[in-house]
């Protein structure tokens, strides 16, 4: 007999034993216990996400820095630069990295000032990773935010002097203005449910198109060589805006509990979803 047949012979000779009632009862009784353990794990994860658990200082600093947030400085710049290269074969490495540094500084201002003004409204009172709560000083955080913005402006105007395209500086200033009215008094439009539209406009059509125009060139002999607005730039800027807006939208869900008390400032459908935009 083949080895497989020898191995299967006992199963062919004797019928399979029926399941033990005791084993079935034990499995049934273990099911609620597993559900309770899973529920406890979910609650612990939610508590940690909302800041309810004890977090290490390194974790708090990582959350305060919000390093993934700075991708919104890289992506519009890179997409706009790629569109300029695709259309006219233009790429200025020094200008690209100078604008990247300026964009990072502007996003730093956006991040720090958001914590400053959220501390004023009480939205971040229980948010341990707030920079204001970590530093312990609203004034120091606001000062650092303003310095970052001024340095960012310096880089942007340097790029404007290099490119000589007024469309670049107008659009990028409009994008920064969207960031201001998003969170700063007396506007604070994010508390009125307008955070996502502002995010779409700032990082999509405004910033991406602005960085595309930043690749215009200026020479002594021919003057300014301005890039035309193309369908590729428009479509790319819309995609960047939609992606950034979806990221912002999804970032609110872990703050539901902390923001529940501020829901009256939001539009009705935000109250239905039980979270507030900050």
Spatial neighbors of 55 by CB under 8 A, at least 6 apart, are 48, 63, 128, 129
Query: pLDDT digits over 169-184, tens only?
Result: 999 999 999 999 988 8
| Structure tokens, 227 | 């890039």
Q: Convert the pLDDT of each residue in 21-80 to its tens digit.
A: 555 444 445 556 666 665 555 454 444 444 445 666 667 666 767 777 788 889 999 999
Q: What is the DSSP string of 5-58?
A: HHHHHHHHHSPPPPPPHHHHHHHHHHHHHHHHHHHHHHHHHHHHHTT-S---HH
DSSP state of 136: S
How far, in Å, CA of 112 to CA of 109, rounded? 5
Q: How confident is the model at residue 270 (pLDDT cuts 50, 70, 90)?
A: very low
Please state the φ and ψ torsions of residue 219, each to the nearest 5 degrees: -130, 160
- Give 262: exposed, middle or buried? Use CB within 10 Å, 0-12, 13-18, 19+: middle
The first and second tokens of residue 268, run together, are 């009705």
DSSP character string of 142-198 = HHHHHHHHHHHHHHHHHHHHHH--HHHHHHHHHHHHHHHHHHSTTT-GGGGT-HHHH
* Domain layout of the chain by residue ranges: 57-253
Nearest to 196 by CA among 265, 237, 252, 234: 252
Determine the Cα angle at 150 with ends 121 and 228, to 5°. 105
Give 216's contacts (C-beta < 8 A, 6+ positions apart).
Answer: 163, 164, 165, 168, 224, 225, 226, 227
Per-residue pLDDT for 206 more than 90?
yes
Quick one: pLDDT at residue 186?
85
Contact residues for 132 (Cβ-Cβ < 8 A; gap 6+): 115, 116, 119, 124, 138, 141
């Amino acid at each position: 007999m083949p080895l497989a047949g020898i191995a299967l012979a006992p199963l062919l000779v004797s019928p399979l034993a029926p399941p033990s009632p005791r084993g079935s009862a034990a499995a049934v009784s273990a099911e609620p216990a597993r559900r309770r353990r899973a529920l406890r794990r979910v609650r612990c994860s939610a508590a940690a996400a909302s800041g309810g658990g004890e977090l290490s200082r390194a974790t708090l600093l990582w959350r305060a820095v919000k390093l993934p947030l700075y991708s919104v400085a890289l992506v519009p710049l890179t997409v706009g630069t790629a569109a300029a290269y695709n259309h006219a074969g233009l790429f200025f490495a020094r200008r690209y990295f100078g604008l990247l540094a300026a964009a990072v500084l502007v996003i730093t201002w956006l991040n720090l000032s958001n914590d400053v003004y959220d501390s004023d409204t009480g939205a971040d009172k229980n948010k341990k990773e707030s920079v204001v709560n970590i530093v312990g000083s609203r004034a120091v955080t606001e000062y650092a935010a303003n310095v970052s913005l001024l340095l960012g402006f310096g880089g942007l105007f340097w790029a404007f002097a290099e490119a000589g395209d007024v469309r670049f500086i107008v659009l990028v200033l409009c994008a920064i203005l969207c960031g201001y009215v998003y969170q700063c008094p007396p506007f604070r439009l994010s508390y009125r449910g307008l955070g996502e539209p502002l995010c779409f406009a700032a990082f999509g059509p405004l910033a991406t198109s602005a960085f595309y125009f930043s690749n215009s060139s200026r020479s002594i002999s021919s003057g300014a060589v301005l890039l035309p607005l193309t369908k590729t730039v428009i479509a790319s800027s819309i995609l960047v805006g939609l992606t950034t807006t979806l990221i912002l939208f999804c970032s609110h869900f872990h703050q539901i509990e902390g923001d529940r008390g501020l829901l009256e400032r939001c539009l009705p459908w935000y109250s239905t979803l039980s979270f507030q935009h900050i």
